[in-house]
């Protein structure tokens, strides 16, 4: 995923007069531009995927809050936006692939128990680079560490 692709998708959505997509792409491109300004360089593909993942995570959190507040209209809006963003993300890793990466990280770190959770999580998240949700990775790491 690169910026030019996102700009092309924005243009396509504008021509098709799809207001939701236009809104989502504009917001996403704005977030990317802000991060580029902050880092003073163009973002690479992995960093753009991180931004998309952040936006998906924001939508998930908002959905939870709106559900608590019984705001079904806003829940539906956030779910639509999240679906648009999720289409942009690379396919998620399978459990088998993720388990293999976690086992590799565990073998490199040689954990002595749950106290080494943070080090292993950092290593695994660096290896998966947005291809697996942090919650999913954390759950699998906890399971493997508890077996040690």
Asked if the model's pLDDT at residue 91 lies above 90, the reply is no
Residue 126 pLDDT grade (very low, low, confident, very high; cuts 50, 70, 90): confident
C-alpha–C-alpha distance, residues 20 and 33, integer Å: 20
Mean residue pLDDT across the chain:
89
Q: What is the pLDDT of residues 29-88, one digit of tens each?
A: 999 999 999 999 999 988 898 899 899 999 999 999 999 999 999 999 999 999 999 999
C-alpha–C-alpha distance, residues 102 and 107, integer Å: 9
Find out whether 85 and 55 touch, Cβ atoms under 8 Å.
yes
pTM summary value:
0.77
Asked if the model's pLDDT at residue 92 lies above 90, the reply is no
Domains plus CATH for the chain? Answer: 3-88 (1.10.1510.10), 95-147 (1.10.10.410)
């Amino acid at each position: 995923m690169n910026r030019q692709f996102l700009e092309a998708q924005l243009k396509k959505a504008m021509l098709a007069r799809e207001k939701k997509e236009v809104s989502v792409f504009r917001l996403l491109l704005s977030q990317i531009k802000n991060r580029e300004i902050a880092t003073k360089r163009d973002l690479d593909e992995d960093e753009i995927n991180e931004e998309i993942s952040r936006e998906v995570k924001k939508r998930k959190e908002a959905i939870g809050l709106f559900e608590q507040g019984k705001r079904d209209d806003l829940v539906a809006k956030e779910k639509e936006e999240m679906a648009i963003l999720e289409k942009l993300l690379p396919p998620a890793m399978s459990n088998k692939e993720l388990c293999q990466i976690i086992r590799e990280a565990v073998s490199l770190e040689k954990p002595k128990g749950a106290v080494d959770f943070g080090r292993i999580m950092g290593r695994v998240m660096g290896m998966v680079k947005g291809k697996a949700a942090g919650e999913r990775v954390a759950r699998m790491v906890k399971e493997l560490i508890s077996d040690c």
